[in-house]
């Protein structure tokens, strides 16, 4: 028996399950809508998006990137992974980074980190991708009581205007 993804399971709750798209997924599809002739780097839980986005992991010069971290990861490991990914996206004009914030943890307390979890995560992204303009999506009302397995609930859309 083939196990269904969380996205597929959640879609079964809707009467139009074959056509429904989640808001988080639509933002990603819309962000890359103008990417038909672009070389797009994909990392992480990107399979669902392959139906409309053509990914390549065989290039040295990616125009764009989609990074979806939907697995348990420690903050310092996340920072290192973002540094590695950024090296691959040195010429990218658009990058979407989506992180399942409920699977992010720290080995030790950081008293200088923002107390707002979403803003602390945003600070990490801004620090690593300081040369990009940021459009940040998250739901400030979740307070940890809403969880969407279909896709990460914290998304960062980065633009680099000079390329």
The answer to whether 152 touches 138, Cβ cutoff 8 Å, is no
Please compute the mean of the pLDDT values over residues 15-30 and round it to a whole number: 86
Structure tokens at 130: 């300081």
Q: pLDDT band for position 40 (50/70/90)?
A: very high
Residue 128 CA: distances (Å) to CA of 35, 43, 52, 118, 134: 24, 17, 28, 16, 12
In this prediction, residue 18 carries a pLDDT of 77
| 89/85 Cα distance (integer angstroms) | 7
| 57/141 Cα distance (integer angstroms) | 36
pTM of the predicted structure, to 2 decimals: 0.86
User: Most distant CA pair in the chain: distance in Å?
Assistant: 49
Query: Looking at domain 6-159, which CATH architecture does it have?
Result: 3-Layer(aba) Sandwich (3.40)
Q: Which helix (H) or strand (E) holds 126?
A: helix 117-128
In this prediction, residue 162 carries a pLDDT of 61
Please compute the mean of the pLDDT values over residues 19-33 and round it to a whole number: 90
In the chain, domain spans:
6-159
Q: What's the pLDDT tens digit per position in 4-20?
A: 677 777 888 888 877 88
Q: Which residue has the higher pLDDT, 150 or 39?
A: 39
């Amino acid at each position: 028996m083939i196990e269904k993804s969380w996205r597929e399971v959640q879609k079964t709750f809707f009467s139009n399950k074959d056509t429904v798209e989640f808001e988080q997924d639509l933002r990603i599809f819309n962000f890359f809508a103008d990417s038909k002739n672009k070389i797009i780097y994909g990392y992480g839980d990107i399979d669902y998006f392959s139906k409309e986005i053509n990914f390549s992991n065989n290039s040295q010069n990616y125009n764009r990137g989609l990074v979806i971290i939907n697995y348990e990861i420690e903050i310092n490991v996340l920072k290192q992974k973002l540094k590695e990914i950024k090296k691959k996206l040195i010429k990218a004009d658009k990058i979407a980074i989506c992180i399942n914030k409920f699977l992010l943890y720290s080995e030790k307390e950081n008293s200088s980190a923002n107390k707002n979890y979403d803003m602390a995560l945003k600070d990490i992204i801004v620090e690593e991708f300081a040369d990009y303009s940021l459009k940040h999506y998250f739901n400030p009302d979740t307070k940890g009581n809403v969880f969407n397995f279909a896709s990460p609930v914290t998304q960062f859309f980065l633009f680099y205007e000079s390329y």
